[in-house]
A and B are shown apart, each in its own frame.
Chain A
Amino acid sequence: MKRILVTLCATLLITPALAIDQEQRFEDPEMQARYEQLISEVRCLQCQNQSIKDSNVSLAADLRREIARMIDEGQTDEEIAEFLVTRYGEFALYRPRATGKTLVLWLAPFLLLLVGGFGLARVVRHRMSLPIDDDKQDEGAPQ
């Protein structure tokens, strides 16, 4: 038991090796910030739960190079996102754009919240209408 606990704690203490790409690509701090922001929001397709900022596989390095080149060429963030989406699909972006295809992704949390809220309201209203002292009739209540 103790060993399990120690292993568990040790596992929780592991920090992922972040930011493989430490290299300063741009002299202009503003461009560097934009670059870092962009690469942290692009999914590495080879290792799907990492961004290309955190991944050291070859494709991530290629994509970082391409993004740096496009920033150099003065392309906007939208143009760079478009470049990635036409080649790899919306899945490549960690923050999918709100278009027809991805609309359900953006709306689902609010819809679920709404449904949950209605359910909760119904239950609460039902419980409030129950007589307070008569908890024996409430099935499931301990005797």
Chain B
Amino acid sequence: MSRFLWPLVAVVALLVFLVMGLRHGDPRALPSPFIGKPAPQFELPTLKNPEVTIGSKNLEGKYSLVNVWATWCVMCRAEHGFLLDLAASGTIPIYGINWRDQRPAAIRWLQELGDPYLASAYDEDGRVGIDWGVYGAPESFLVDPDGTVIYKHLGPLDPQIWEREFVARMTQEGDSQ
């Protein structure tokens, strides 16, 4: 009996790891090191007007959604409709970081598809993207009134993800304060 016991235990242990690995979901989604930490400081010209800057100061004192997008990003188009709905609902201010993009193309995109953003920062060379640990657009950061990142989502947003991951965290944090 004990002859088979240990190999069996080993195989079961391996299977448990396998199942855990498979259930992990999107293998590209990494835990963001920013969760629970202050949002990275930044200041960039806005997309529509290079003379005006937008940055950390705009995120103070309220929950805000920081959405990293680009015109070359296919999944950004997929979530755009949801972002427009969210902006129209007035739940939360949405700020964009237009990441490694071309200004005219990005402005045209917003004209054609609609603009859900209060403002978009224009991160031409990806410098601020690196500071935010961005590695694949679209990425969405939920920043609380203290300027702390409380959640990050990789990939397109939709109503289910919004309710489950974002709204839940905002109400939870609101309750505990």
Contacts and interface: CB of A to CB of B under 8 A. Distances in A.
B135 A85 contact: no
Nearest to A88: B133
A62 to B, nearest CB: 4
Given A62-B125, A62-B130, A88 B31 contact: no
Contacts of A58: 100, 126
Interface residues of A, number: 15
B6 A59 contact: no
Nearest to B136: A46
Chain B contact residues (Cβ within 8 angstroms of A): what range? 10 to 19
- Interface SS of B by simple majority: loop
Contact of B130 (A46, A66, A89, A91): A66
A75 interface: no
22 contacts: A45-B30, A45-B135, A46-B135, A48-B27, A58-B126, A59-B126, A59-B135, A62-B126, A62-B127, A66-B127, A66-B130, A85-B33, A86-B33, A87-B131, A87-B132, A88-B30, A88-B33, A89-B31, A89-B32, A89-B33, A91-B30, A119-B6
